[in-house]
Structure 1
């Protein structure tokens, strides 16, 4: 006697990881099992495919990205992908066909996509050398992600400037539902914190090897620029390697206990290793952050809480 379909579907559900933020590669046993269930019957295929789109979409090369796009006409449900890891380029983004595929990917998935990790070398091609308009193509695609809630850029700050001086606003500012943001080597100056203060739903900000931290007082900049009616509640995790980053707490004229008496904004430091000369430390940071983003633990990391001024 065949098993009731409800029992089989319950088996599929029990396969799912306990952490809803995890990404599962194709080699993972759960991914392989879900793929097997797509071949059992129509109902198991429907349910397993939905979970594959939620946990297991790794577009880690140009051919994989192209194959995904070519599959949409025969499987329109691919448009409903909710989470993915995107790394379709090699050492440079000076590749117009791949950039166009990225734009098309976001055109198809922008309504459903809520979680995104990118490992794209956006700094490999600066605006003044972009003769194929690759950066404009990519920016147009990323700007469509209006429903994105969680985003990690492994290699940079989502560097999609179109001009040499970078007068365009950061693309992530156009994502109104963003709750979690992870950026690498961002210039965390006063303008950056002004933009962060305007993000209405942002809950967690992870900055890896950020610049300009020695020039700006974080809490003072945030609360100075926040809307009077904004309920600013934010966890800021500063990830570094080597020497402790210098936070100029002495620059603020008002102690943090007065700026933020309820402790709504928490600033923490997290050290992941010792400094190595050359690019080794850069690669170490990038690989570490990507692994933590993929296993779903990045947003729950804790660190050394930065103390208020009067206790320093």
Structure 2
């Protein structure tokens, strides 16, 4: 006899709908329901933001499902129309700020070649769904190939307050870098003045005729090929970590621009792990963390 509680089926738009009948994790549920697709194909559907749980898009493989929920698999075009956040997840949001975990490969702001697929554009669409007058403002940036925690402001006033008081309000900015070779120093501080060349490459000088850059580092784990280094910024200059790791003789993995010879993880080996700051309105101390990518950890086992 057919189970009347099951509402599995395909809508007119091509969306597949599945009713959750018992608790479990999202990826195994999808693998069971989409048995004609490969595991990699199902993972790609998740990554592209094509999976909806009731009324929200979900990309986490281990998202806990509850009985009674509806899981929808959207066509790619439908997912784009849903204005899904692709390449990032929101860690925190209130009336003043949004904090995200950005994936490697996602631009912070638009370039001549890419206007829409950026963190700023997607977040702008996200807040305007609540109110068309809402806006998002860039406070600081991460390079396209750097992943991790970053923050945006929801008003010009908040943006200005954060930028004008950055040194006082930001209590911790910790990165992890996967670098080439064995870093012999267990910890240290790199200090130089940075300049930018005509080809937009940053480089260190020692005559103070540039922007002061101070980087503190600590070796976390290492083998002969690679080292995982925790980095804390005392200043926030363009490409600072990348330049200083190269100066140390251990360029960041995948960073050909600054001397890397390897790209074994298929991305830049730089990740913003912790951002801690005083809330610009309430003054409350907030701390956000993004887990170190597994590809980094696998190289220093």
TM-score, shorter chain, exceeding 0.5: no
Which protein is richer in strand relative to its size? 2
Task: Tell me which protein shows more helix as a share of its residues.
Answer: 1
Q: TM-score, normalised by structure 2?
A: 0.31
State the TM-score, normalized to the length of structure 1: 0.31
